[in-house]
Structure 1
């Protein structure tokens, strides 16, 4: 059997199926990343600058989701949230409610990634000297202006290497959604293996696809790091 022919498009090959799975994988990662960044930064601000009423729940959130395995978190969100929704809907209707697998994966992976992002942002915030905040306050800048014009640009420069690593972890963690029947790259690869009985070939192809996406991501983050580090390297 010509193995490369198995990657052809159409009914005789699996190339279009694998590309469709890659599309789901990338969409899930790209939809989850902004959620993780925003939530992670908010958690870091609450833990570092917030009052105890904000810092305590933020620390608890980060601790819990850093400690839970991603797969268990996914099951909790997918089945637990569905049960809660059905209980709420059951008060007014007999309709059956099921949480979409894509949304469940986005919430679960977003919560875990946000917990780790908060640690990266905490370290980056520690790298911004307090004197700059005091100087900006003395100039009459508002707290929002200080955050967006003084703190955030420096935080992003310091946080980008860590965030790049977390993005690569998120890309790999998207494979967990295969267990809740979301047709991502891993699930479609597994289906192809079952149909063709060529596990080594198809899993090798999946590895190469993940590796290619990771290399492209590393290159992009390298460009971003160079962009945010302009002026600092020279000094």
Structure 2
């Protein structure tokens, strides 16, 4: 236990890195999911096929394989660009590589979530908003978007929960996140159990806080609607 206390600052720093990476990856996933959902609902067949290829490939490859591919190939791509432009070498950190990879991975899952939420919105409500004289942007902001968010929240919460746990895989490329610090500390002190328990409690804390936040959001967006769950 004394060794656990000694490593606590490093564990706390690793916890912060894990949370930061999860949040940034989630933002990227939401952006990719929104673009993907728009693409799937597009009237252009080429766009729909492009999104289908993205979601099929990404969801068919394990997270670890994608992280390794992106980490090594992203660095090679950056080297190619900097050499061609005559710039100084730019190193791609494990944090950046992991964040981008996880964001792209879970953007594919959110594509389906957001698409389903958009299709669940009653078309008649948009028509009613138009009849009331609302402009397209007003209709989107006041009528359509709140209902899409409400429909998408349960699925989005599930994706977020899985995404946070996937950040643990990034430690394999050298990131000193919560898991990376716990494994290194356990290897140095031969006290793997206590350090892995610290990582366990850290992820449990993230899950608990996330559950509270999403529950409050669901209550907020459920106001004025008949409960369906």
Instruction: Name the TM-score, length of structure 2 as normaliser.
Output: 0.92
Provide structure 1 residue ranges, at least 5 long, that are not aligned to the other structure.
none
Report the count of equivalent residues. Answer: 228
Q: Distance in 2 between matches of 1:51 and 1:133?
A: 22
**Aligned counterparts of 2:226 and 2:7: Cα–Cα separation in 1:** 47
- Segment drifting more, 145-154 vs 155-164: 145-154
- d(CA) in 2 for partners of 1:121 and 1:174? 22
CA distance in 1, matches of 2:135, 2:105: 32
The correspondence for 1:25, drawn from 18, 26, 31, is 18
2:191: which partner in 1? Answer: 198
- How large is the Cα RMSD of the aligned pairs? 1.8
What secondary structure does 2:41 align onto?
A: helix
Please list the CA deviations of residues 165-186 of structure 1 after superposition, one character each: whole Å capped at 9, or x if unmatched. 1111111011111011111000
**Aligned counterparts of 1:204 and 1:6: Cα–Cα separation in 2:** 13
- Corresponding residue of 1:119: 112
The residue number in structure 2 matching 1:41 is 34
1:175 partner SS: helix
- Structure 2 vs 1, CA of residues 130 and 49 (structure 1 numbering), >3 Å: closer, same or farther? farther
Identify the residue that residue 93 of structure 2 maps to in structure 1: 100
Greater relative contact order: 1 or 2 (C-alpha under 8 angstroms, separation 6 or more)? 2
| 2:142 equivalent in structure 1 | 149
Match of 1:62 in 2: 55
Q: TM-score, normalised by structure 1?
A: 0.90
